[in-house]
Amino acid sequence: MLGMRARLLTLYKIPFDFPEDVCLDLTIPRSKAAMKWRAIKHSLLHKSIKAKNIDSLTHMPYFKPANPLEKAYMQRREKKNEKTFMNALKELDLDSFEIIHFDGGIDYYSDSRLAKKWKSSGKKIVNCYFGDDLRTRGIVKKMDELSDLNLTFEYDHTMRHPNINFLFFPYDKEKIDYVSDEVYNSPKTIRIIHSPTNRFVKGTDSVIEAIEKVKSSGREFEFLLVENQPREKVIEIKSTCHIAIDQIGNRGGTGYGINSIETLAMGLPTITDMNGGMNSWLPENPFIVAGADNLAYKVIELLDNRDFLLSKRKSSRDWVIKYHSYESVFKKLMEYYEKAGIV
């Protein structure tokens, strides 16, 4: 769209029907037991950080296999999918590209052999972090040494890594329609949506507890807890709502992600939790900030003030366009490329 030839290669297909470029659709355990095990590991890690009195906002470990068994499993997985992966690189003619972005700052191979090879051939290496990469897994030391530029879409990563650059998450504003005032104002009952991909990370228990308090106040509204639905279905449901609650508790970051960008772009006033100074740092942000202790109060305040809801709508969409649009993010990315000597 903006003049650069680019391709995206992903290893696993996510279960929410997001659009793909080239997806290898490799096998990954997604059974209830596997998902439960991941949730347990995530919870144990947070408890360990708390027990060791580590600053959760600045902690950044180095990644290494936890034990010989995990190392053997990683090597077996690499070998199993190696032919499929290398064939995909050949079909994409990857050697014709000049800049390689590694999602999560991690090579396909645990010894970073591809990044080493491409770096030695003169290509520029960019490590791009999103989600829990620097919070829980940490950095791969060799990849960090090879990198010409480190990027992140997560504000708290800037407090962890000494040499990382923040980008607003790029978002195609044309893919999401603004809910018109006519549609927004047509239902008499206000609908509140919470759509977690991970209940623990999004603090869903705290959200439900707060919603029960609001119900006991006698206010009339409808609460929608939407889970395990294809993305297009979730978008369709969101377009019928009036208020969105993203996350409470900040177990997965310091503020917001794609879920909030979508609801703001649609013109839904959005509640989220923020810490680490993100609320004051984030320019002109339209969020309604709340934690577990005052979420019920914030929801009641919104239910009782329709004029405030309406005033938030357009400013929410305008903010997404100003900071998250492809044009805005691309301009900033070029600044980082130039500063790093990549272009």
pLDDT tens digits for range 222-280: 999 999 888 889 999 999 999 999 989 866 666 788 889 999 999 999 999 887 777 77
Q: Which token pair is 77? A: 């997985």
Kindly write down the DSSP assignment for every residue of 180-212, as one continuous string: PHHHHHS-SSEEEEE--SSHHHHTHHHHHHHHH
* 250, 274 contact by CB (below 8 A): yes
**Superfamily of 173-324 according to CATH:** Glycogen Phosphorylase B; (3.40.50.2000)
Every domain of the chain with CATH number 3.40.50.2000 lies at: 173-324
CA distances from 184 to 17, 234, 267, 285 (A): 26, 17, 9, 22
Q: Are strands 165-166 and 149-152 parallel, antiparallel or unpaired?
A: parallel
Q: Rounded distance, CA 287 to CA 279, Å? A: 8
Terminal alpha carbon distance of the chain: 18
Predicted confidence at residue 301, as pLDDT, reads: 93
Cα–Cα distances (Å) from 297 to 67, 217, 300, 301, 339, in that order, read: 47, 10, 5, 6, 46
Task: Give the pLDDT confidence of 81-126 residue by residue, as tens digits.
Answer: 999 999 999 999 988 999 999 999 999 999 999 999 999 999 999 9
- Helix residue ranges, H only, 52-190: 68-92, 113-120, 141-146, 181-185
In this model, does residue 283 exceed pLDDT 70? yes
Give the whole-number percent of the chain exceeding pLDDT 70.
92
CA distances from 72 to 75, 104, 113, 115 (A): 5, 21, 17, 21
